Amino acid sequence: MAKTLATEAKTAPIVWRDDARIGEMFEKAGVTGTLVVHDVATGEFTGHDRQRASIRYVPASTFKIPNSLIGLDAGAVADVDEVLPYGGGPTLMPQWARDMPLREAIRVSNVPVYKELARRIGMPRMREGLRKLDYGNMNAGNTIDTFWLEGPLKISAVEQVRFLGRLAQDRLPFPKPAMAAVREIVRQEGAANLYAKTGWYMPDDRKNQIGWWVGWVEKDGKVYAFAMNVDITDDTVAAKRVPLGKAALQSLGLL
C-alpha cells in the first residue's frame, strides 16, 4: 500500500538542532517544557528538549483547529460565521456564556461552542477526520465532546508542527475553502504573518496540567510551524506561554 505524505513524514528521520538561546529562555523564565520550530521547506526542526517534543499530551484547546476543519468538511456548520449555541448552562469563563460563530469562538477559546460543534459532527465523522489528518494517536475514545479535553486523544509537539505545516501549505486532504477559512480565524490580530492557538489541559485533580501554544509564521515566502508545551504548575506559568514563545521566535528571526 502506498504511503501517504503524512506517513512518510512520520517515518522520516528528524533533523534536529538544539538552540541554546531558547533553552536559556526557558530556564530564565522558570518554565519546564519544549518548543519546536519546523522549517517546512527544509524539513528541519529547531528548538528545546527534543525528547519531550516527541511525547504525546492531551491537545486541549489546540484541537479547536482540527475540530473546525472537520466540522466544515462534514457540513456541521455552513461556514465560520454560522452562530452556534453555547447551551445556556454555567461556564468556566464569562465570555463563553453567549452564542457565537467559530470565528469568534476560537479567539476566546469557547469550550461549550466547540463541544456543540463536536456533537454535530458525531463520532463516526470525527474518527474519520482524525484519521485523514493523521492527528496524534487519532483516538477519540467514546465521548464525543470531551476526548480532546480529558483524553484519550494525545499529540506530540513534533506531530503538531507537521499537521500545522500541512494546513499552512494547503496540503491536508480537506477542501481548500475549509483550510483557508481555518487559517483565517487563527490569524493573530496585529501580526499579519502569525497564526496561533493556545491550549490548557486541566484535569479534574488539577495535577500534571499542560499548557500549549501552537501555530505557524510566514516569513519571506516560507512557513515555519511551531509548537510549545509546558508544565503548568501555577497561573503565572500559564501567562508566560505566549510571551516566551514569541521571544523564542524572535530569537530565530521569525517575528
CATH number, domain containing residue 114? 3.40.710.10
Q: Over range 21-39, report the average pLDDT.
A: 97
Q: Over range 13-25, report the average pLDDT.
A: 93
Q: Domain limits at 170?
A: 5-251
Considering its fold, how many domains does the chain have in total? 1
**Residue 203's pLDDT band (cuts 50, 70, 90):** confident
Q: How many residues does the chain have?
A: 255
The pTM assigned to this predicted structure is 0.94
CA 115, CA 138: separation in Å to the nearest integer? 18
H/E run at residue 39:
strand 33-39
Q: Over range 183-206, report the average pLDDT.
A: 91
Please report the pLDDT score of residue 206 as a whole number.
Answer: 78
Q: Which residues pair with 198 in a beta bridge?
A: 213
Helix (H, G, I), strand (E, B) or coil at 57: strand
Of the residues 54, 61, 109, 156, which is catalytic? 61
Say if residue 13 is preceded by a cis peptide, omega within 30 of 0: no
Is there a catalytic annotation at residue 68? no
3-state helix, strand, coil in the chain (%, to 5): 45, 20, 35
Give 71-116 pLDDT, tens digit per residue. Answer: 999 999 999 999 999 999 999 999 999 999 999 999 999 999 999 9
CA 224, CA 194: separation in Å to the nearest integer? 10
CA-closest candidate to residue 228, choices 65, 44, 32: 32
